[in-house]
Amino acid sequence: MAASEAQLMLSVGLIEKDVNGDTLWVWCYPLVRVELREVLLRKCCLTQDGAGLHPFVFGQFGRAWYYITTVEVQETSALRKVPHVTHFATVLTAKDFNPEKYAAFSRVLCRMYMKHGSPVKMMESYIAVLTKGICQSDENGSFLIMDYDVRKAYLTGSIKDVVSQFSMETIILYTALMLKKRIVVFHPRVEALLEFTRALPALTWHRKDWSILHPYVHLNEQELENLKLCTGYVAGFVDPDIINRTDLFDVFVNLPDSEINISQSAKETMAMGKLHKDMGHFIVQSAEDSDRTDSQVIKDISEKTRKILSSLASLAEQCDDSKLTLETLKQRHFPPATENFLYHLAAAEQLLKI
């Protein structure tokens, strides 16, 4: 298990900033392709004029997850012997979503680099984790890959916080996720974006698909083209100009203003009815129960979702090739909004006959 978990890691890299304000990609193992390196430099707060120090950010580009930990060089560090280095960032890329795992490993790597001032020790630790799933050091701390279960990463985001902020409007997010729509979230603080967006895929727990998450995207053509390759997504932006890019979203979430808007082009598909109202009330009731944990709320929503999917599957079984048709739905005389939702849900779940 440890070995297979470790094989999810792709690379480790190092970015440095000097007293002149120049930021450079100084080292990596193994090679990181140029396109990805450009993205990683853009994500690192050391390259952003006027940006504060963001200790840890994560995101996804080109099917690779990145985890960037940035620190200020201490007076006692061996790096002070290196002329002019004031800050550095460790960059880990991997195939899996697990921020807590890679944040912990990054902290160990940062302490090593701070102490030794050379990436050699970092590479040794990276290889140790890659081959054995563990790196141990009395001075710099230990890291055991088995301590970080992916389910914990999935459950770290708070659905209760999402519902607390948006109440019944949470049903818009639920519906958009169920139908694999494009959700864009805006907040000027990247930390707020990361915290909010990572929780959303849990609303469709039956898929356990965090590959839809792109929590930190810049209005950069390279990144936007990468985003457009995805059928549906949850994408986070710190640039307020994202509101003008209506070609990128079906649902727009303005976090600071606690507003959710459905784009004109998606309003027909996202039409709400009694089914949505009932589900919305159910989500709010579960989330507002102070005795229920986030995990229990997710379980409640998941069980309710499974009932909807089971009903849909039963309808599909009555059709040729177990694929649902619009004619079959119309025969059931559902309310228009329910019929519309089930039709598009069948398409999202690959239960629709085309």
Domain spans in the chain, listed from the N-terminal domain onward: 2-148, 156-266, 281-348
Say yes or no: domain 156-266 is CATH 3.40.50.11500.
yes
Q: Write down the mean pLDDT value for the chain.
A: 94
Query: How far, in Å, are 65, 232, 243 from residue 264 at the CA level?
Result: 32, 17, 13
Which helix (H) or strand (E) element contains residue 185? strand 182-186
pLDDT band at 6 (very low <50, low <70, confident <90, very high): low
Share of the chain above pLDDT 70, in %: 96
Q: What is the pLDDT of residue 1?
A: 43
Name which residue leads in pLDDT, 298 or 136: 298
- Distance between CA 304 and CA 301 in Å, rounded? 5
pLDDT(323) > 90: no
Task: Please tell me the least confidently modeled range out of 56-60, 197-201, 329-333.
Answer: 329-333
- Distance between CA 225 and CA 238 in Å, rounded? 18
Residues 6 or more apart in contact with residue 166 via CB below 8 angstroms: 173, 258, 260
- Distance between CA 157 and CA 178 in Å, rounded? 18
Query: Nearest-CA neighbor of 135 among 115, 106, 92?
Result: 106
Same fold, 2-148 and 156-266: no
Query: How far, in Å, are 41, 58, 69, 74 from residue 49 at the CA level?
Result: 13, 19, 18, 22
Tokens read off for 163: 């519902």
pLDDT digits (tens, 9 = 90+) for 279-300: 999 999 999 999 999 999 999 9
Q: Look up tokens 């089930």; give the residue.
A: 342
Task: Please tell me the least confidently modeled range out of 43-57, 119-133, 314-328.
Answer: 314-328
- Distance between CA 88 and CA 104 in Å, rounded? 17
Residues 6 or more apart in contact with residue 33 via CB below 8 angstroms: none
Which helix (H) or strand (E) element contains residue 56? strand 56-61
Name which residue leads in pLDDT, 307 or 18: 307
Please list the alpha-helical segments (H only) found in 10-116.
34-43, 99-116
Residues 6 or more apart in contact with residue 100 via CB below 8 angstroms: 148, 152, 153, 156
Q: What is the pLDDT of residue 174?
A: 99
pLDDT(354) > 80: no
pLDDT(80) > 80: no
Q: Give the CATH number of domain 2-148.
A: 3.30.450
Query: Nearest-CA neighbor of 202 among 217, 191, 194, 213?
Result: 213
pLDDT digits (tens, 9 = 90+) for 143-188: 999 999 999 999 999 999 999 999 999 999 999 999 999 999 999 9
End-to-end CA distance of the chain: 41
Q: What is the pLDDT of residue 204?
A: 98
